[in-house]
């Protein structure tokens, strides 16, 4: 048994900051400690590690490559034609060049970046299953295993979500040639999930994902949801991200996406509905009442022009949310939480939209809710400093940004008052992964990443 006592001047517990906190770490798990037992001071401000509830790791290597107008011409007409759907074409072309070795190299680099930003668990929404021509690898789990190995290299916790992808639209059309590597029949998909579940460990949880309503026919959804893996969760799905998706669902299923899902599936706290951007007031209330997590990815949603989630209405309905970096145009929980609030300010013309009389600090409310919702969506007991896996982040109290701050203002200053990284040290499962801003293996992982990405670009 390994045991250590860590001290923090202030530690973020379930009820907020606790002064002179002793944290007992035993075999990778954490619990309150005895200050009289002796131990090591780790820092002034210690917060739980943040779960990243939505990731497509391979997209990190294409970040910045879709920022040119994809259709010719000038003016409003050309701009109106550049959207999520044209971005998707760039993504498909990039995905078609990635094999297991490339995926591992890209994911390991991404996961190091996540750790250095304060993420300690990532939910990998994984649909890049087969070879570029659509044929299964000799080992059908090869791409999934590449992600597991990348997480092991980096030392981050992983919730792997093998994703079912069967059709190219609500009308059930066949997958296009560029989508075929994503596809599975239900039996093969469930066999993959079961195989991966046998590999679970304290740093690996395996759930499942339905790519979207347009990609999973109703009969297949029912079959998957009746399976044992679905009964034990977690279950993630993209939904209501784009207005075009909402319009297609209305036309072919006579209901909006979230409305249809709630009418046809037993949505509960196992579920994470990623984006859920376009909700009516009635959908907001119904979805919040299920206890499902709204998986919000503000930097990607802004980058793709998705729209804005109705945050204030969601909070009023006591809805649960977490954050994800999705396409990884940014890898920063600070930026996700900042822009979650700033988007609301831009449309409402008010400040501190997320805050309330009961929770007057915008930063503290966003941090607490994102920690809890992210842990729920990850399917692992974490994001707490009084129980669960020993994940923690030590902020740099020597930073100029925190000069003159106390525990009442440090989170607001961290999230809203600068762009320098304040994450100094990061522990995952009782092991230090980042010390003094550096990951133990970042140089090797970055060098391999550069080699892989340069080769991919030469192939373009």
Query: Of the candidates 378, 407, 429, which is a domain's last residue?
Result: 378
Query: In whole angstroms, how far apart are CA 200 and each of 144, 175, 194, 206, 380?
Result: 13, 31, 10, 7, 11
Counting the structural domains of the chain, the total is 2
In a domain, 383, yes or no: no
Residues 6+ apart with CB under 8 A from 337: 323, 363, 366, 367, 370, 415
Q: How does the average pLDDT of the chain come out, rounded?
A: 94
Provide the domain limits for residue 55: 50-378
Q: What is the CATH number of the domain that holds 64?
A: 3.20.20.140
Q: Do 416 and 271 share a structural domain?
A: no
Any domain includes 456: no
> Quick check: is 447 in a domain?
no
Same-domain status, 373 and 428: no
Which residues partner with 321 through β-bridges? 294
CA distance 182 to 238: 15
Cα angle 175-377-110, degrees, rounded to a multiple of 5: 70
Q: pLDDT digits over 16-70, tens only?
A: 899 999 999 999 999 888 877 778 999 999 999 999 999 999 999 999 888 887 6
pLDDT tens digits, residue range 273-301?
Answer: 999 999 999 999 999 999 999 999 999 99
15 versus 232: the higher-pLDDT residue is 232
**DSSP E strand boundaries for 73-134:** 119-126
Report pLDDT for 254.
Answer: 97
| 208 and 225 together in one domain | yes
Task: Evaluate whether residue 217 is within a structural domain.
Answer: yes
In this predicted structure, the answer to whether residue 217 has a pLDDT above a threshold of 90 is yes
Let me know whether 19 and 63 are in one domain. Answer: no
* Closest CA relative to residue 298, chosen from 277, 279, 319, 282: 277
Residues 398 and 319 in one domain: no
How do residues 231-269 score in pLDDT, each as one tens digit? Answer: 988 999 999 999 999 999 999 999 999 999 999 999 999
459 falls within a domain: no
- Alpha carbon 280 to its chain's center: 24
Q: How far apart, in whole angstroms, are the C-alpha atoms of residue 110 and residue 103?
A: 10
- Residue 44 and residue 113 in one domain: no
Compute the distance between CA of residue 460 and CA of residue 458 in angstroms, rounded to an integer: 6
Comparing 130 with 92, the larger pLDDT belongs to 130
Residue with tokens 């995905």: 95
Asked if residue 177 and residue 104 are part of one domain, the reply reads yes
pLDDT confidence of residue 78: 47
The mean per-residue pLDDT over the stretch 186-211 comes to 98
- Rounded CA separation 115/439 (Å): 8
pLDDT at 184 over 90: yes
How does pLDDT run across 69-80, given as a tens digit for each residue?
Answer: 765 445 454 445
Are residues 301 and 206 part of one domain? yes
Same domain flag for 190 and 265:
yes
Q: Which residue has the higher pLDDT, 84 or 438?
A: 438
The pLDDT of residue 434 is above 80? yes
Stretch 93-105: mean pLDDT, rounded? 93
For residues 250 and 118, state if they share a domain.
yes
Average pLDDT for 112-127 = 98
Q: Are residues 193 and 299 in the same domain?
A: yes
Are 54 and 125 in contact by the 8 Å Cβ rule? The answer is: yes
What does DSSP say about strands 293-296 and 320-323: parallel, antiparallel, or unpaired? parallel
Residue 170 lies in a domain: yes
Contact in structure between 143 and 129 (CB atoms under 8 Å)? yes
Average pLDDT over residues 393-404: 96
Asked if 121 and 258 sit in the same domain, the reply is: yes
**pLDDT on residue 279:** 98
Q: Is residue 455 part of a domain?
A: no
- Cα–Cα distance list, 231 to 121, 152, 328 (Å): 22, 27, 30
Catalytic residues: 275, 326
User: In this predicted structure, what is the pLDDT of residue 77?
Assistant: 46
CATH number of the domain bearing residue 25: 2.30.40.10
- The verdict on residue 458 lying in a domain is no
Report the phi/psi class of residue 382: left, alpha or beta, with left for phi > 0 and alpha for psi in -120 to 50. Answer: beta
| Cα separation, 150 vs 60, whole angstroms | 14
């Amino acid at each position: 048994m390994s045991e250590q006592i860590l001290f923090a001047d202030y530690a973020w517990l379930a009820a907020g900051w606790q002064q002179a906190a002793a944290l007992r770490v035993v075999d990778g798990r954490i619990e309150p400690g005895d200050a009289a037992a002796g131990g090591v001071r780790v820092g002034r401000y210690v917060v739980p590690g943040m779960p990243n509830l939505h990731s497509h790791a391979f997209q990190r290597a294409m970040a910045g490559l879709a920022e040119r107008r994809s259709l010719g011409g000038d003016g409003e007409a050309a701009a109106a034609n550049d959207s999520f759907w044209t971005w998707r074409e760039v993504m498909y072309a990039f995905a078609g060049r990635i094999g297991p070795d490339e995926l591992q190299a890209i994911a390991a680099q991404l996961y190091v970046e996540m750790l250095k930003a304060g993420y300690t668990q990532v939910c990998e929404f994984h649909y890049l299953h087969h070879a570029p021509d659509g044929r299964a690898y000799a080992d059908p789990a090869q791409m999934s295993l590449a992600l597991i190995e990348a997480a092991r290299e980096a030392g981050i916790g992983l919730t792997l979500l093998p994703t079912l992808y069967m059709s190219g639209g609500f009308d059930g059309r066949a997958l296009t040639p560029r989508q075929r590597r994503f596809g599975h029949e239900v039996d093969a998909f469930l066999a993959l999930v079961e195989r991966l579940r046998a590999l679970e460990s304290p740093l690996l949880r395996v759930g499942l994902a339905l790519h979207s309503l347009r990609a999973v026919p109703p009969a297949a959804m029912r079959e998957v949801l009746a399976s044992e893996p679905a009964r034990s969760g977690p279950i993630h799905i993209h939904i209501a991200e784009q207005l075009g998706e909402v319009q297609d669902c209305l036309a072919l299923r006579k209901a909006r996406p979230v409305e249809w899902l709630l009418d046809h599936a037993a949505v509960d706290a196992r579920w994470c509905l990623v984006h859920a951007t376009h909700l009516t007031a009635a959908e907001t209330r119904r979805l919040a009442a299920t206890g499902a997590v709204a998986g919000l990815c503000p930097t990607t949603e802004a980058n793709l022009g998705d729209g804005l989630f109705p945050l204030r209405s969601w909070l009023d309905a006591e809805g649960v949310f977490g954050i994800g970096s999705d396409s990884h145009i940014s890898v920063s929980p600070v930026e996700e939480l900042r822009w979650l609030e700033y988007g609301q300010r831009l449309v409402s013309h008010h400040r501190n939209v997320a805050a309330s009389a009961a929770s007057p600090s915008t930063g503290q409310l966003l941090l607490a809710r994102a920690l809890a919702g992210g842990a729920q969506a990850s399917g692992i007991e974490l994001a707490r400093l009084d129980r669960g896996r020993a994940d923690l982040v030590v902020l740099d109290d020597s930073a100029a940004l925190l000069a003159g701050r106390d525990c009442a203002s440090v989170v607001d200053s961290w999230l809203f008052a600068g762009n320098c990284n304040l994450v100094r040290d990061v522990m995952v499962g009782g092991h230090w992964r980042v010390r003094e801003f550096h990951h133990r293996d970042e140089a090797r992982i970055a060098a391999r990443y550069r080699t892989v990405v340069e080769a991919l670009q030469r192939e373009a």
